[in-house]
Chain A
Amino acid sequence: MLKKLLVANRGEIAVRVIRAAQDLGIATVAVFSEADRDALHVQIADEAVNIGPPAAKKSYLNQSALLQAAAETGCDAVHPGYGFLAENAEFADACVAAGLIFVGPSGEAIRTMGDKVAARSAAHAAGVPVVPGSMGRVPDIAAARAILMETGFPVMIKAAAGGGGRGIRIANDLAEFEAAFPQAAAEALAAFGDGGLYMEKVIAQARHIEVQVLGDGRDAVHCWERECSLQRRRQKVWEEAPSRALSDRVREELCASAVRLTRAVGYSGAGTIEYLYDDAADRFYFIEMNTRIQVEHPVTEMITGIDLVAEGLRIAGGEPLRLTQRDIVARGHAIEVRLNAEDPSRDFAPFPGTVSDLRVPGGPGVRFESMLYAGYTVPPFYDSLLAKLVVHAETREAAITRLVRALKETRIAGLRTTKPLFLALADDPAVQANAVHTRWLEGWLATHSARLVPELEP
């Protein structure tokens, strides 16, 4: 078992990791920037170290400051949380080189799954369906033309070194393709210093479905799937487990494929394998693996009763997987919504400020993951996530009813938040019927956002 853990993150995930470690009897060290002196994670950790100025680059992304904090406080392990350095292979390697345990997969596994082409090849080799397209970098336009036979149109041309939606072009016919391919190569070279391209069939309408996995470097299990189709600008806002869209047969195939891939890459810790699910064709396709704990992990915890962060800490401490696949049973339905400091009636403009009053929802089946307290000032330098409201009930319908009840109980005074968005979504027939896809929410917002005016309570 780990003895002392440096939590290299902030916000709600730092709080979540510190709590899991303390539950296991592991001492905790928080790190904080000068903008986070009053943060909850600093208050609840056993120790806390100032790692620099507010800018993330100079604090939460400063590898040497983090490693120095770990050394000075006698930590034997580092947990990266999500975001910041969580999927940075060099940081994982640097931790190991400094004699620390990195809570997560090896730098090698992060590198493989972080490279889109390598990840796609690994998935294909493990028998995981991938979106039709190139199996790696496309050497030239002649090879690209041959791949069109498989993908058809529209086809996506992506920069191998791109990310976050950057470096993507879509061609709707051969003429567009002939023009776009050389342009994309030149642009990728200019923007990323790497002109490598790959190609993928465009799946017009799909759901985002992902499988939670746990691996110990040798064996792996899945903890069922989550559906996160409600997204805005590729950011998830509402997540559920399980997905109502899948048949039992497809669910079993999907989860089994995730386990095969997790084993194939010798994955250690908690991870997520993301897929697109095409309802019309009843087929799923691998998109990518996230080699870290995810924001939406609690919905899986609610339906399985597993503490995923604690399991990750046990695995990092050298324990083999404690759970067999048979032990992992999904019960009921869970929904998480992300309460962000944003005004949904004003194009989600950020709204940092001071929480003048806080009422946290409670009762059966309600969980509130947050770093807020009354009087806390949310700094403007980091992301806008204030709290994750997670509900669990016997059925999806009951979970939605409970979500509305809990949202109405919630009061985060002094800030504008995305609460009105979730009240409106919970009331929408398409959401109630789960008749959604990854682009549904943006269309819905175009006609509904003006009505999502948050109350601003004193």
Chain B
Amino acid sequence: MAQLLSPLPGTFYRASAPDKPPFKADGDAVAVGDVIGLIEVMKSFHEVKAVVAGRNIRFVTDNEEPVMAGAVLAEVD
């Protein structure tokens, strides 16, 4: 199992816009470089890219939840 961490402090979003589907659904496979969410820091948005590959992603942080840098966003097998 590996963890995907937030590179920045801010607000975590799972989709590019409220009316869009999430970048990844629970259970999806993840490749290195895949966007798994956005972090909003001081009104600017930054993509969170997976730094490890894995199967069966499980999000630990909810959509629109505040996070600190280094917080666990999701886990993969």
User: Are both chains from one complex?
Assistant: yes
User: What number of A-B contacts does a CB cutoff of 8 Å give?
Assistant: 36
A350-B45 Cα distance, complex, nearest whole Å: 10
Interface residues on B, range: 10 to 19
A35 within 8 A of B: yes
B11 contacts the other chain (Cβ, under 8 Å)?
A: yes
Question: Least Cβ distance of B20 to chain A in Å?
Answer: 13
Q: A381 near B66 (CB under 8 angstroms)? A: yes
Which residues of chain A in 353-403 are interfacial with respect to chain B, using CB atoms and an 8 Å cutoff?
380-384
A352 touches B66 (CB 8 A): no
Q: Helix, strand, loop or mixed for chain A's interface?
A: loop
Alpha-carbon separation in the docked complex, A55 to B66 (Å):
8
Name the residue of chain A whose CB is nearest to the CB of B65. A55
In whole angstroms, how far apart are the Cα atoms of A55 and B64 in the complex? 8
List B34-77 residues whose CB lies under 8 Å from chain A.
40-44, 64, 66
With contact pairs A35-B66, A381-B66 given, residues A54 and B11 touching in the complex (Cβ less than 8 Å):
yes
Residues from chain A with a CB closer than 8 A to the CB of B42 are: 341-342, 350, 352, 380-384
Which residue from chain B places its CB closest to the CB of A352 in the assembled complex?
B9
User: For the complex, is A53 an interface residue (Cβ under 8 Å from B)?
Assistant: yes
CB nearest to B39 among chain A residues = A380
Q: Report yes or no: B44 in contact with A55, Cβ–Cβ below 8 A.
A: no
- Distance in angstroms from B36 CB to nearest chain A CB is 19
- Which residues of chain B are within 8 angstroms of A342 by Cβ–Cβ distance? 42
Tell me if B29 is interfacial: C-beta within 8 Å of chain A.
Answer: no
User: A452 to nearest B CB, angstroms?
Assistant: 17
Chain B 24-36, CB-CB to A under 8 Å as 1, else 0, gives 0000000000000
Chain A residues within 8 Å of B41, by CB:
350, 352, 380
Once bound together, how far apart are the Cα atoms of A350 and B10, in whole Å? 10
Chain A residue numbers with a CB within 8 Å of B9 are 352, 380
In the docked arrangement, what's the CA distance between A349 and B8, Å? 11
For residue B13, give the distance in angstroms from its CB to the closest CB of chain A: 11
Within 8 A of B (CB), among A37-62: 53-55
Contact with A along B1-28 (1 / 0, CB 8 A): 0000000111100000000000000000
Asked if B44 and A54 make an inter-chain contact with CB atoms under 8 angstroms apart, the answer reads no
In the complex, which residue of chain B has the Cβ closest to the Cβ of A378?
Answer: B42
Q: Does A53 contact B66, Cβ atoms closer than 8 Å? A: yes
**In the assembled complex, which residues on chain B have CB atoms less than 8 Å from the CB atom of A382?**
42-43
Could you say which residues of chain B place their CB within 8 Å of the CB of A383? 42-43
Residues of B within 8 A of A341 (CB): 42
Task: With A341-B42, A350-B42 as known contacts, state yes or no: A380 contacts B8, CB within 8 Å.
Answer: yes
Cα–Cα distance between A384 and B9 once the two chains are bound (Å): 13
Q: A381-B11, A382-B43 provided; 8 other pairs, C-beta below 8 A?
A: A35-B66, A55-B11, A350-B8, A350-B42, A350-B43, A350-B44, A381-B66, A384-B42
Chain A residues in the interface with B (C-beta under 8 A): 35, 53-55, 341-342, 349-350, 352, 380-384
Chain B interface residues (CB < 8 Å from chain A) = 8-11, 40-44, 64, 66
Q: What are 12 contact pairs spanning A and B, CB under 8 A?
A: A35-B66, A54-B66, A55-B11, A55-B64, A350-B8, A350-B42, A350-B43, A352-B41, A352-B42, A382-B43, A383-B42, A384-B43
